[in-house]
Structure 1
Amino acid sequence: MKALFACHALLPDGWHRDVLLEWDADGRFAAVSPDTTAPAGVEQAHYVLPGMVNLHSHSFQRALSGLTEIAGNGPDSFWTWRDLMYRFALHIAPEQMEAIAAQLFVECLRHGYTSICEFHYVHRAPDGALYPDVAETARRVIDGARHAGIGITMLPVLYGYAGFGDAPLRDEQRRFRSGPAEVLAIVEALEPLRGAMVEVGVAPHSLRAASLAQIRELLAALPPDRPVHIHIAEQEAEVRQCVDHTGRRPLRFLYDNLAVDERWCLVHATHVDDGELAALAASGAVAGLCPTTEANLGDGLFPLAPFLERGGRFGIGSDSHVSTSPVEELRWLEYGQRLAGQRRNVAAVRQDERRVGDVLWRAALAGGAQAAGRQVGALAPAHVADLLVLDEAHPNVAAPPELLNGFIFSGNDNLVKDVLAGGQWVVRGREHVAQPAIAARFSQTLADLRELRS
């Protein structure tokens, strides 16, 4: 048994003092004991939080960060960015995917994410052929997670069409092509890897890229406890296309045709009307919000306050990885709402919780854990032993109950000092334990890819 004594720790029911956290060899909390005395020889920390879940990631896109911020000849949008991303994706080899993923996951861990959900759609070789191992690229990303020490939910993507009306895939989408049979083959191939640090679900890419028949076929063969993620209503053009082809808006079409429940994560859901928002909240599904990517791509703003007033659940993701900080995602989430509504403290919709930082962090923990399908997001027995130790010496770290407000809304320094993931210390003194080797491999990968593209 290993242990840490926290002077202050955020437990499921709030802040507690003098908490002894103990975890077993399987990397799960065996006991969490508040109001106790520090045993002799046990490491101590001042401020301890549960690690955050990153519920939406396309890990290979980390290599694109900073390379798409050049204006084109006409108005730039999500769709012009997507064309650049497609061209980039054609060149990446499986071993390069692993190197990029490992670097991304190191950065996520250093900033406070201890779990990630990988929405993985680059399944095929550059020529469009399947690899001999249908799960080749998914395994590579999982290997990147193992090297970094982060927990992962792998979500192989169903990607059959280029648009509504079963439009055939374009040539530059050839690496993404997958039907229900291929996705289920990947799920089956990854079954032996499932455990405390790895879960496997599925992800119909979107209503424009997967037909209802395909989604139904996939879900009918999937174990009923596995997570299901989908992109939806990210862009206004997507909403218009859905209305043109189905007569209904995306969320309404989804809810009218499929049994959406707590195992679903609806990623973005940016453009929703009141009825769709109510259906999303009532279903218990998680809204997967990615504010820094949504801002980078010019997507728009999710209507957070009315969703929370209806009891809706949300989590956060770094998506294209223009940021790898949960603090920045949550700050952007709140600040976007403030700018849109010209008011402050938007997320504090309940009278019994007025501290915005607490509302955001705790809601994102719960929603992220649900979307990941793993027992994470809480300092509690039987949960995976994930935690963050904040730098008690930093002036922006205040004692509870103001700690989370200061953590999220003060300055830009990274206040995460140490990180435990799956019962292993992966970050110490702000440095990842495998950072030099992983960073060197990533730098070489970037150099190789840029040479290939030049």
Structure 2
Amino acid sequence: MTALFAKNALLPSGWARDVLLQWDSAGNLTAVTPGSVQPAGAEAAEYVLPGMVNLHSHAFQRALSGLTEIAGGGETAAKDSFWTWRDLMYRFARNITPAQMEAIAAQLYAECLRHGYTSVCEFHYVHRSPDGAMYPRVAQTAESVIQAASLTGIGMTMLPVLYNWSGFGEAPLTPQQNRFKTDAADILNIIGALEPLRSGQVEVGVAPHSLRAASSAQIREVVAALPRSRPVHIHIAEQQGEVQQSLAYSKRRPVEYLYDELDVDARWCLVHATHLVEAEVTAIARSGAVAGICPTTEANLGDGLFPLESFLAQGGVFGVGSDSHVSQSPVEELRWLEYGQRLREQRRNIAVSAKQRHVGEFLWQGALLGGARASGRAVGALAAGKRADVIVLDADHPNLYGRTADEVLGSLVFSGNDNLVKDVLAGGQWVVRGQQHVAQQAIAARFKQTLAELREYRR
């Protein structure tokens, strides 16, 4: 049994004093006891939080960060969008090897851990070799990414992606998309191959890429084959172009189309859901599905703003993800989630409730709830039976110095750009100490070598 004494710990009910956290060798919290006395020899910390869940990640895209910020020439300069951004992403995806995927993912996950993410949901769609053939081990690329998670210590929900078409109406894939090609049988084979890797640190769900890349019949077949406890993620209504294509094909908007065709419930995570009408907002909230919001990527790609205020008013559940990894910080995602709403509504302090007026705490607790649901794992709270995923803040940093507990999250989320995460425990293992990942140097060296190998595909 291992322990940490928190002078202030964020529990599901709010901040509590003198909390003794204990966990076992399997990485599960066995007791969370407020009002305790610090045991002899037990480590102590001033401010302790549950680790955040990153509910949407395409790990290999970490290698593209900062490389797509060049406008197209001539007349195209004013027309850059998500669809033009995909060109460079496709060039990377067409050539990347499983070993390179592992190196990039390890760098990303170490960064995520250092900033307070202790779990990640990996929306993984590069399954085939560069020539379009399946690898001898059908789950080889997914295994490589899971290996990166194991190396860094981050918890993983692997989501093999069903990706069979290039557009609505079962349009054939383009040559650039051949490495993504999977039908229902392929995905079920990959999921089956990953079953032996499931553990306290690893879960396996599924991710139909989108309604334009997978038919409703395929999605229905795959979802029906999975146990009810497994999570289901899907991209939905990210861009206006997708909405228009859905209307042209089905006479329905994407979320409307999804809910008409499939039984969407709390096991689902709808990623982005940026462009909604009010009836769709209501449908998502009532179903219990998680809205997977990725504010830094959605801003980077010019997607738009999720209608958060209306969604929260109807009891909607949300979480955040780093998606394309222009940022690896949950603080930045939560900050820009709130700031986007302030710009949209021209008001302040949007993400609150009658019971919780502190915006930082509302956002952190809300994202924990939604992220845990989307992950399908026992995470997201400091409570017995949950994974021992804990972050310790730097109480000596000027941004936190002298703060009371109920002021901490407001300062964490809305004060400066320094990383205030000092130590991180993931699955009962200390993986970050003094803001450094325990394998940071070796991971960074492999990542740099991979960037050198991929350099030619940047042009």
TM-score tier (shorter) = over 0.9
Cα deviation digits, residues 236-271 of structure 1 (max 9, x gap): 010000000001000011001100000000000000
Q: Specify the code of the residue in structure 2 equivalent to 1:131.
A: Y
Instruction: State the partner residue of 1:390.
Output: 393
Aligned partner of residue 401 in structure 1, secondary structure: helix
Instruction: State the partner residue of 1:80.
Output: 84
Instruction: State the partner residue of 1:66.
Output: 66
Instruction: State the partner residue of 2:319.
Output: 315
Q: Specify the code of the residue in structure 1 equivalent to 2:181.
A: R
The 5-angstrom pairing of residues 97-246 of structure 1 reads 97-246=101-250
Instruction: State the partner residue of 1:96.
Output: 100
Counterpart CA distance in 1 for 2:140 and 2:62 is: 19
Indicate whether 1:361 and 2:364 are aligned: yes
Counterpart CA distance in 1 for 2:374 and 2:450 is: 31
How large is the RMSD of aligned CA atoms in angstroms?
0.7
Cα deviation digits, residues 254-313 of structure 1 (max 9, x gap): 001100000000000000000000000000000000000000000000000010000000
Instruction: State the partner residue of 1:338.
Output: 342
Indicate whether 1:422 and 2:427 are aligned: yes
* Structure 2 unaligned regions, length at least 5: none
Cα distance, 1:225 vs structure 2: 1.3
Cα distance, 1:451 vs structure 2: 4.0
Count of residues in correspondence between the two structures: 453
Cα deviation digits, residues 342-374 of structure 1 (max 9, x gap): 1100111x2221110011000000000000000
Aligned partner of residue 99 in structure 1, secondary structure: helix
Counterpart CA distance in 2 for 1:83 and 1:453 is: 10
Counterpart CA distance in 2 for 1:47 and 1:107 is: 21
Counterpart CA distance in 2 for 1:4 and 1:68 is: 43
Cα distance, 1:452 vs structure 2: 5.7
Counterpart CA distance in 2 for 1:243 and 1:421 is: 44
Instruction: State the partner residue of 1:47.
Output: 47
Counterpart CA distance in 2 for 1:219 and 1:106 is: 31
Indicate whether 1:411 and 2:391 are aligned: no
Cα deviation digits, residues 61-84 of structure 1 (max 9, x gap): 000001110100211000000122
Counterpart CA distance in 1 for 2:236 and 2:69 is: 24
Q: Which of 254, 262, 271 does residue 258 from structure 1 map onto?
A: 262
Counterpart CA distance in 2 for 1:399 and 1:191 is: 45
Query: Taking structure 2 as the reference length, what is the TM-score of the superposition?
Result: 0.98
Cα deviation digits, residues 198-224 of structure 1 (max 9, x gap): 000000000000001111111121122
Counterpart CA distance in 2 for 1:287 and 1:35 is: 36
Query: Taking structure 1 as the reference length, what is the TM-score of the superposition?
Result: 0.99
* Structure 1 unaligned regions, length at least 5: none
Cα distance, 1:453 vs structure 2: 5.4
Aligned partner of residue 376 in structure 1, secondary structure: coil
Counterpart CA distance in 2 for 1:131 and 1:391 is: 45
Counterpart CA distance in 1 for 2:102 and 2:441 is: 16
Instruction: State the partner residue of 1:29.
Output: 29
Aligned partner of residue 175 in structure 1, secondary structure: helix
Counterpart CA distance in 2 for 1:441 and 1:19 is: 39
Counterpart CA distance in 2 for 1:308 and 1:272 is: 14
Cα distance, 1:399 vs structure 2: 2.4
